[in-house]
Chain A
Amino acid sequence: MRRQKLPGFYLSNYKMRKGFVILLLITGSILSVSFMKQNQMNSPARLRKLYSQTPDKWPAPTIDAGVEWIELGILPESPLEKYKDSLRHTIELGKSLFFDTRLSGSGKISCASCHQPELNWTDGIQRSFGHDSTINKRNSPTIQHTWFYKKLFWDGRARDLEDQAFGPINSESEMHGEMRELPFKLRQIKGYAALFDSAYGDPRIDPDRIAHAIAIFEKTIVSRKSRFDEFLAGKKNSLSNSELTGLHVFRTKARCMNCHHGPLFSDNQLHNNGFADGDEGYYKVSHQEEDRGKLKTPSLRDVMKTGPWMHNGSSKHVIDIIELYSKGPNTPDKLVKPLILSAKEKDALLAFLKTISAPPLEFKKPVLPD
């Protein structure tokens, strides 16, 4: 029956059929050889060998021309670590202020309401509740490694942490306080005079000192070392094969290193990664069209612990973000392009992100002054 239907193919052109079969065999073997080669190239054994070397000998990451990058590395300590002893009184004062709800208009909200030590200094919800249960505009980011950032807030509108500290206190939708009136309010709490005295050498309370002490305290907050740090420190079996594959995909095919590089996995820049969702981002500061939708590159340290993700907390699962990056979100930023990752590669990436995430360091909350 079939012969009758397709006589040409089966009967009349035997030579052509033979040629086709040979061609198929050749193509197949070339493909399988290159596949095997690719497989060997990225075999767990080979990756383990490559990445067991010092990072300067690792395979080159996939990074576009013109991007200045730094290799991944062991978790750095806060630059304040060495001065912790001489700054201890300022840190103590800042810690009290950070946890004191009396800084807010309602007396119910402190900085720590949205940056909770137990939740890696986030609040674990999409967007924080501010004054009078107002839902805030953006997601509360962790304060771990804030010493690192050159610009603060998701849209980079604050130039330093002291400047940033004024924001939530003064904002009508967050703490609904008045930095201008805060020195007066704090003077009613007797214990603060002594704290300011020890920190600054005299008991004067003013907005600059309040912001400074909070900033100094915040700069001491860092992550716990993760399994990736153990791996870098020489414990080579601390990453599984899948996690190692994830590290390789992170550095190469998934192009993550174009923005998430260095020991803190951030380039300290602002980008429109395609997730802006109508947020004007840095455009509101610069009024330059090219800055529309640009938001801060967050550190990926402890990323699995700091969800929901993105500036608006719109992503509930990290794998969804990987899926979207794989497809290629819509953005004018040339660094973001379709990756077409396999299911295995996506899983490996997720596995790797877990290795750079750790529970928060032990933290003792302050006893607030009366």
Chain B
Amino acid sequence: MKKLFLTLAIAGFGLIANAQPPAGDAKPGDWYGDKVTADGAADINDVVVKLNEGKEMEDVKVKAKIVEVCPKKGCWLKLELNDGSTAMVKMKDYGFFLPVSAKGKTVVIDGDVKIKTTSVAELKHYAEDAKKSKEEIDAITKPEKEVRVTAKGIVVVE
């Protein structure tokens, strides 16, 4: 009974998430955050090669395909990389959001690119949280390198 009351009280104050990503079709030419042009954009894979050489790239334009958009708020994206992994994009100052329709679109992003390393211990914990099988968790043996992009502005190109 107490639990039911608690649930009701909480439901009454909005744990039923009502935030959602912005509407829109993310058509070519649509832009988010700072208005950027596609001019002078480099393929993200070329930029990642340079990063692997130990550089941190600030204020670069990268061209990439979006494979995932934060379904709740549109506050992060994942980009396709040619090694089968993805790059994680967050918006500068949490300043803007993308519609989920941006999934599958090719975009040019103006921002900073770097590589973040996640330790084996952390990865194992995330896998546990995600209720992965013991075999899958045991299979985690090396730290994960993830390409991180902090986007100032994004424009849809195709």
- Asked if B96 and A170 sit within 8 Å, CB to CB, the answer is no
Q: CA of A167 to CA of B97 in the docked complex: distance in angstroms?
A: 11
Q: CA of A173 to CA of B112 in the docked complex: distance in angstroms?
A: 13
Measured CB to CB, the closest approach of chain A to B57, in angstroms, equals 15
Q: Report chain B residues within 8 Å CB of A162.
A: 14, 17, 19
Q: Report chain A residues within 8 Å CB of B15.
A: 200, 208-209, 212
Return the CB mask of B89-133 against A: 1 if under 8 Å, else 0: 010111111000000000000000000000000100110010000
Q: Is A80 an interface residue (CB 8 A)?
A: yes
Q: List 12 A-B contacts (CB under 8 A).
A: A87-B13, A160-B14, A163-B19, A168-B94, A184-B125, A184-B126, A199-B10, A200-B6, A200-B15, A208-B15, A208-B17, A284-B96
Return the CB mask of A54-92 against B: 1 if under 8 Å, else 0: 000000000000000000000000001001001101100
Known A83-B9, A181-B126, A208-B17; further 18 A-B contacts with Cβ < 8 A: A87-B10, A159-B18, A162-B14, A162-B17, A168-B94, A170-B75, A170-B94, A171-B93, A174-B93, A174-B94, A181-B122, A201-B6, A209-B15, A212-B14, A284-B33, A284-B34, A284-B95, A287-B31
- Asked if B93 and A173 sit within 8 Å, CB to CB, the answer is yes
- Asked if B75 and A137 sit within 8 Å, CB to CB, the answer is no
Contacts A168-B94, A172-B90, A216-B13 given: A159-B125 contact, CB under 8 Å? no
- Asked if A167 and B19 sit within 8 Å, CB to CB, the answer is no
- Asked if B90 and A170 sit within 8 Å, CB to CB, the answer is yes
Q: Report chain A residues within 8 Å CB of B95.
A: 157, 284
Q: Report chain A residues within 8 Å CB of B96.
A: 157, 284-285
Q: Report chain B residues within 8 Å CB of A174.
A: 93-94
Q: Report chain B residues within 8 Å CB of A219.
A: 13
Contacts A162-B19, A163-B73, A208-B17 given: A200-B10 contact, CB under 8 Å? yes
Using a Cβ cutoff of 8 Å, how many contacts connect chains A and B?
Answer: 78
Interface size on A, residues (CB 8 A): 37
Contacts A157-B95, A159-B18, A172-B90 given: A166-B75 contact, CB under 8 Å? yes
Q: Report chain A residues within 8 Å CB of B22.
A: 285
Q: Is A183 an interface residue (CB 8 A)?
A: yes
Return the CB mask of A85-128 against B: 1 if under 8 Å, else 0: 01101100000000000000000000000000000000000000
What residue of chain B has the Cβ atom nearest to residue A215's Cβ? B14
Q: CA of A284 to CA of B93 in the docked complex: distance in angstroms?
A: 13
Measured CB to CB, the closest approach of chain B to A233, in angstroms, equals 29
Instruction: Give the residue of B13, B93, B126 whose beta carbon is less than 8 angstroms from that of A83.
Output: B13
Q: Is B7 an interface residue (CB 8 A)?
A: yes
What residue of chain A has the Cβ atom nearest to residue B30's Cβ? A287
Contacts A160-B18, A170-B75, A184-B126 given: A86-B93 contact, CB under 8 Å? no
Measured CB to CB, the closest approach of chain B to A236, in angstroms, equals 38
Q: Report chain B residues within 8 Å CB of A90.
A: 10, 13
Interface centre among B15, B31, B90, by most A CB within 10 Å? B15
- Asked if A137 and B93 sit within 8 Å, CB to CB, the answer is yes
Q: Report chain B residues within 8 Å CB of A199.
A: 10
Q: Report chain B residues within 8 Å CB of A287.
A: 31
- Asked if A201 and B3 sit within 8 Å, CB to CB, the answer is yes
Q: Report chain A residues within 8 Å CB of B122.
A: 181, 184
Instruction: Give the residue of B34, B75, B92 whose beta carbon is less than 8 angstroms from that of A172.
Output: B92
Q: Report chain B residues within 8 Å CB of A201.
A: 3, 6-7
Q: CA of A157 to CA of B122 in the docked complex: distance in angstroms?
A: 32
What residue of chain B has the Cβ atom nearest to residue A287's Cβ? B31
What residue of chain B has the Cβ atom nearest to residue A284's Cβ? B96
Q: Report chain A residues within 8 Å CB of B150.
A: 172
